[in-house]
Amino acid sequence: MKRIQEVIKKKAKEYEERRVYVKCQTQHFLMVTVLLILLGIFVEFAYYSTIGQLGQKIAFEIVKVHVVKFGGIVGYAFLIDWLAAFLVGTLPRQLKEGLLFPLHRPTVLNTMLLILMFSLDAPISVFCVAITVVALFSQNTRHGYSYYTFHPVLIAYVAGVIGLMATQYNLGLTDISPSLTAPYRTTVYELHSSLTAFKQHYYSMTNVIFGLFEGGMSYTLIIPLCVSALFLMRRRVIEWRVVVVYFLGYILTGGLMGILIGQPLWLTVLFLLNGSIVLSGIFLLPDAVTFSRIVSFKYIYVVGAAVLSAVGCYFVHFVIAPYLVLLLLQGLVFLVGQMKRLG
């Protein structure tokens, strides 16, 4: 009996430590993502008013539209999370606690991640669909602690991509949305890997590194994302070894494939500037909820994710592949777990 009580106390202690860690991670992620989005809006203004050649007046109007859009998206995330929490009976009874309730849950944080993944250029309808999916898949949670097999933002991203493609098809648009393209993809498929055409379109590699082009926020904010990673590592919110192994795995695999394919060095460098990889390595891969299931083989999982992502970026889709790989691996972990239980 004493042994059973000790085991129960140990499990309760582990649960509480994990709950506190997840809550801390959620708060830090939310703070960092909001700051990144605000910085991304400023970078947009800098691009449109200079290299974009629209002038400060038009650039300011674009920024105003995006700020209003950002507020509307956040408002919808709060509303849908309140509604979903009310329906499943997890909404606090006290008004003061209920108003800030969504800030302690995954829906608002995942909404910020969706903005970084898509950018504010995506239609508001796409965000509404994606946020609704996030809220539905995040309802098994209370304050600062969650249980989910598949990361809700990955499922929502897939739904958002489908919605974005459907919107473009219905409007008869043939150009690829800036949310689904990147300098490497544009250079290979539209500029035919021409260095001259690349310089005419992007002016220089420096502009790409500093995000002075039209595209998803995860690609225009690569340097700030890397700085954010250092901050989160310093605060021990994410495990630095996991992030470093993931990035190194992608860099080595991408570089090796570039050599085998016979790709020019400058194009390989462009391949390595992958915002989807950077965002995944910082916010999605080290997520305390999904990552806790693979602690016993985490480095195999991380290396596998990095290698498959590099291959997928070459042969499937440069922007979407890293997210699909993580979703696939989470599905495999779930299936293996179910087979062990049945066995």
Domains of the chain by residue range: 2-331
The pLDDT of residue 35 is above 50: yes
Highest mean pLDDT out of 47-51, 96-100, 138-142, 196-200: 196-200
Task: Give the residue carrying structure tokens 């038009």.
Answer: 58
Phi-psi sector, 203: left (phi>0), alpha (psi -120 to 50), beta: left
Task: Give the residue carrying structure tokens 């996991």.
Answer: 242
The per-residue pLDDT for range 73-102, each reduced to its tens digit, is 999 999 998 888 778 777 777 666 667 777
Per-residue pLDDT at 309: 96
Name the pLDDT band for 292 (thresholds 50, 70, 90): low
Per-residue pLDDT at 14: 57
The pLDDT of residue 251 is above 50: yes
Name the pLDDT band for 2 (thresholds 50, 70, 90): low
Radius of gyration of the chain (CA): 21
The pLDDT of residue 207 is above 70: yes
The pLDDT of residue 341 is above 60: yes
Phi-psi sector, 70: left (phi>0), alpha (psi -120 to 50), beta: alpha
Separation of alpha carbons 76 and 91, rounded Å: 17
Calculate what percentage of the chain has a pLDDT beyond 70.
85
The per-residue pLDDT for range 135-187, each reduced to its tens digit, is 888 765 544 445 677 889 999 999 999 988 887 777 666 667 788 889 999 99
Choice among 80-89, 127-136, 209-218 with the minimum mean pLDDT: 80-89
Crossing angle of helices 124-137 and 55-88, in 10° steps, is: 30
The pLDDT of residue 229 is above 50: yes
Alpha helices in the chain (DSSP H): 2-49, 55-88, 95-99, 106-118, 124-137, 152-171, 183-189, 195-202, 205-209, 217-220, 222-234, 240-261, 265-272, 275-279, 288-291, 298-315, 321-342
Phi, psi of 141 (to 5 degrees): -145, 150
Task: Give the list of residues 6+ apart from residue 100 with CB closer than 8 angstroms, or none.
Answer: none
**Structure token pair of residue 114:** 């969706």
Longest distance between any two alpha carbons in the chain, whole Å: 76
158: exposed, middle or buried (Cβ count in 10 Å: 0-12, 13-18, 19+)? middle
**What one-letter code names the amino acid at 275?**
G
> What rounded mean pLDDT belongs to the chain?
86
Per-residue pLDDT at 6: 64
| Inter-residue contact 39 to 221 (CB < 8 Å) | yes
CA distances from 236 to 155, 227, 240, 282, 286 (A): 27, 14, 8, 12, 11
**Structure token pair of residue 184:** 């490497």
Task: Give the list of residues 6+ apart from residue 241 with CB closer than 8 angstroms, or none.
Answer: 299
**pTM to 2 decimal places:** 0.90
Name the pLDDT band for 267 (thresholds 50, 70, 90): very high
Name the pLDDT band for 291 (thresholds 50, 70, 90): low
Task: Give the list of residues 6+ apart from residue 132 with CB closer than 8 angstroms, or none.
Answer: 80
Calculate what percentage of the chain has a pLDDT beyond 90.
49
